[in-house]
Amino acid sequence: MARDRNPVNHVPELHAQEGDRLTTAQGAGVDDTDHSLTAGPRGPVLLEDHHLREKITHFDHERIPERVVHARGAGVHGAFRAYGNAASVTKAAFLATPDEETEVFVRFSTVLGSRGSADTVRDVRGFATKFHTSEGTFDLVGNNFPVFFIQDAVKFPDIIHAGKPEPDREIPQAQTAHDTFWDFIGSHTESTHMAMWAMSDRGIPRSYRTMEGFGVHTFRMEAADGTTSLVKFHWKPALGIHSQVWEEAQITQGADPDFHRRDLYDSIAAGAFPQWELGLQIMPDTVDETFEGIDLLDPTKIVPEEICPVQAVGLLTLTEAPENFFAETEQVAFHVDHVVPGIQVTNDPLMQGRLFSYLDTQLTRLGGPNFAQLPVNRPRTAVNDMFRDGMHQQAVHSGIVAYKPNQIDDDLPRTSPEGEDAFVTIPTPVSGEKGRHHPVSFTDHFSQARLFWLSLTPVEQAHEVEAFTFELGKCLRQEVKEGVLASLACVDTDLVARVAAGLGLPVPDGEVPDGVVPSPALSQIPAEPGRVDGRVVGVLVADGGDLSPVADLRTAYADEHVVVRVIATHGGEVSGSSGETESADRTLLTTRSVEYDAVVIATGVAGSVVAAEPRTAVLLQEAFRHGKPVVALGDGVDLLTSTGVDTSAPGVLACESVRDCVQPLRDALGMHRSWERLSMFAG
């Protein structure tokens, strides 16, 4: 999967890190970079010191504006290959043919936090993919939720202003648990469905690798024979959908604010390449653009998979961390309107507003209109756009003709009126009166919020109740809480009663929609154990104890690239009972339970100095409370008992040898957590 890091279109080679000599930006050698030019040993610094001024000036300008939303993100390279079955709906070559491997760059992000904020906050996640296709760049700029807060782009500044830190004291950072956010949600009933997603476990993913992705809007696809369809994009993670629990997410924010980006790069380094299948919901292109009564132009609605199944059409594999965060992750520029022949936008008013915003925002962020020339953004196809000049122009265009039509260059470059190798807009009819309309089909704001609630299992519903109660509990104003409760009263009577009880407020009346049919596909609890690639198992060991489980587990799970980490009381080498040694990956001081999907206690830890460490109890109790598999080998059971962990609880495995626990632990990891145990802690 080689990547052309330096595709050149008339661009002279950039000399950036050549040779072993330190130079100025102009290429002159530098004699000394540690001492400024001064008049005398203790005299004033001279303006004449070009190297000093150039070095500091460049440093002063190292930052570009962070993204106004989605500032915090992590990028990664990979490839996409289609299965070939999408050829019946789209002529886009990268989707239609399995013969072509398409280079991709994906950027995952949170929405509200600044660039340095924590990864594991409760928020929607961006899932933006740049496909460098043979027909030009296609950007699928999606999220990990299939719906959005608002129906019209004109409200986007409002929802974002409300969610961002409040402007007087600029707090809270990267949090929705504050008055202005919930004031907006309570005042916009169309946001209720998205708020249900945000308060569910989907708002706190365990990993980018375990999130679904969605294009949200409906797209129009065109096949080679000219037939068109309305389509929704889905990303289905190979590892299933897996989230943190709220306490775990909060601890992680402090213990490892880089948790998600670290997980992404660590899993790639371990050989567990993250994968997603790209799926399509394909619906007929009808005049009214609805499906089974659902307005396909309304971005607050899903089409349940039970009535329109998701068809897998290709596989995305992420294989390579960026070489340089700034050059790639920070400078990548996505745009909803970067589409290729075979994929077109629709009249969804949210999508239409985005068509303006993404191009516009790059002008400020990347300093001008030539951002497509930045290495990470360069199309992998030939470019001949007749654009000239502008800030940061890197091409040296030749010739005198930069206009069309022209006689001097035989009217080159040519257009393709017949569309043989060009993007041609599908001639969809448009009519209507100009006006600031509010379509009737956009006025149902609660039936799908209810659909989501009814589709969750009891433990997921308990998490939803807890999240609403937490977030509204952090609001200071009574009217804000009451506004949201009024909306929840139109979703479900049990939901609103439980949240109101937690807040100590009266339960408002509301009209709950009738006849809503749940969509079991929305629950994220797996029916059976899934893949466990790249999961992290912590093994608690002690000097003088049995260290063999470390190597045995590594061998047992080698094919799945499960990462087995040694946790001890001290760094360096740990010596086992038979004279064997293992290197400590973490100490009880440097680790926290949140780093592990499961914890194993080796024989010989109970009764050791590890057992006496107060942090051991914290580690085990947290893992237990968060529903993680906990394995006690041999006398490890005694340690669990002494730290107050119920050894008879579901997902606590007592085994005599590693051999006995390999399969049960794999199954437990494949279920993500012990849902039965989590239910014990759910309100």
Active-site residues, by number, are: 70, 143
Closest approach, Cβ 76 to ligand HDE, in A, equals 12
| 128 lies in the site for ligand HDE, by CB under 6 A | yes
Q: Alpha-carbon distance 244 to 207, whole Å?
A: 8
Q: Does 109 bind ligand HDE (CB under 6 A)?
A: yes
x-or-dash string of contact with ligand HDE, 2-21, rule CB under 6 A? --------------------
Residue 296 binds ligand HDE (CB under 6 A): no
Cβ proximity to ligand HDE: between 67 and 672 the closer is 67
Interacting span for ligand HDE (CB under 6 A) from 67-75, 80-88, 551-559, 574-582: 67-75
Q: 51, 69, 339, 370: which one contacts ligand HDE (CB under 6 A)?
A: 69
Q: Please, which residue, 93 or 153, has the CB nearer to ligand HDE?
A: 153
- Non-local (6+) Cβ contacts of 9 within 8 A are 378, 382, 383, 395
For residues 115 and 365, the answer to whether their CB atoms sit within 8 Å is no
Are 626 and 597 in contact by the 8 Å Cβ rule? The answer is: no
Q: How far is the CB of 247 from ligand HDE (least distance, A)?
A: 27
Candidates 51, 67, 202, 673: give the one binding ligand HDE (CB under 6 A).
67
Angle between helices 493-503 and 458-473 (to 10 degrees): 40
The answer, yes or no, to whether the previous bond of 413 is cis (omega within 30 of 0) is yes
DSSP H helix total and E strand total for the chain: 19, 20
**Integer Cα distance of 210 and 161 in angstroms:** 29
Binding mask 436-475 for ligand HDE (x = CB under 6 A): ----------------------------------------
Residue 76 found at the interface with ligand HDE (CB under 6 A): no
How far apart are the C-alpha atoms of 87 and 203, rounded to whole Å?
Answer: 34
Q: Does 353 bind ligand HDE (CB under 6 A)?
A: yes
CA distances to 111, 193, 467, 480, 507 from 474, in Å: 20, 21, 11, 11, 19
Of 213, 228, 237, residue with least CA distance to 296: 228
Alpha carbon 249 to chain centroid, angstroms: 15
Q: Considering beta carbons, is residue 153 or 639 the nearer one to ligand HDE?
A: 153
Q: Which is nearer to ligand HDE, 91 or 125 (CB)?
A: 125
Contacts of 633 (CB under 8 A, 6+ apart): 546, 549, 600, 601, 602, 603, 655, 656, 657, 658, 661
Smaller CB separation from ligand HDE, 105 or 273? 105
Measured CA to CA, the distance from residue 600 to residue 566 in angstroms comes to 10
- DSSP calls for 226-240: S-EEEEEEEEEETT-
Closer residue to ligand HDE in complex, CB, 350/671: 350
- Give the distance from CA 499 to its chain's centroid: 28
Joined together, the tokens standing for residue 260 give 């998600």
Q: Should residue 216 be labelled a site residue for ligand HDE when binding is judged by CB under 6 A?
A: yes
- Least distance to ligand HDE, CB of residue 92, Å: 19
Residue 676 Cβ vs ligand HDE, minimum distance, rounded to whole Å:
35
Query: With respect to ligand HDE, which residue has the nearer C-beta, 159 or 488?
Result: 159
483 binds ligand HDE, rule: CB under 6 A? no
Among 51, 107, 132, 261, the residue binding ligand HDE under the rule CB under 6 A is: 107
CB 274 within 8 A of CB 319: no
CB-count exposure of residue 395 (10 Å: 0-12, 13-18, 19+): middle
- Listed in sequence order, the residues at least 6 apart from 222 whose beta carbon sits closer than 8 Å to its beta carbon are 90, 91, 228, 341, 342, 343, 344, 426
DSSP class of residue 672 equals: S
* Count of Cβ atoms closer than 10 Å to residue 308 Cβ: 17
The footprint of ligand HDE on residues 559-618 (CB under 6 A) is: none
| Near ligand HDE by CB under 6 A: residue from 51, 70, 188, 234 | 70
Q: Is 113 in the site for ligand HDE (CB under 6 A)?
A: no
Residues 157-196 as x/- pattern, contact with ligand HDE by CB under 6 A: ----------------------------------------
Query: Does the protein bind ligand HDE through residue 347 (CB under 6 A)?
Result: no
The pair of three-digit structure tokens given for residue 331, joined into one six-digit string: 């400078």
Task: Name every residue whose Cβ is closer than 8 Å to that of residue 397 and which is 6 or more positions away in sequence.
Answer: 10, 388
Asked if 105 is part of the footprint of ligand HDE (rule: CB under 6 A), the reply reads no
The residue among 337 and 660 lying less far from ligand HDE, judged by its C-beta, is 337
Q: Candidates 189-197, 310-318, 357-365, 479-487 — which segment interacts with ligand HDE by CB under 6 A? A: 357-365
Choose, by CB under 6 A, the member of 78, 113, 126, 549 that binds ligand HDE.
126
Stretch that binds ligand HDE, among 265-273, 346-354, 454-462, 598-606 (CB under 6 A): 346-354
Q: Measured from the CB of residue 534, what is the shortest distance to ligand HDE in angstroms? A: 23
Q: Which residues bind ligand HDE (CB under 6 A)?
A: 67-70, 73, 107, 109, 126, 128, 141-143, 148, 153, 156, 216, 332, 334, 350, 353-354, 357-358, 361
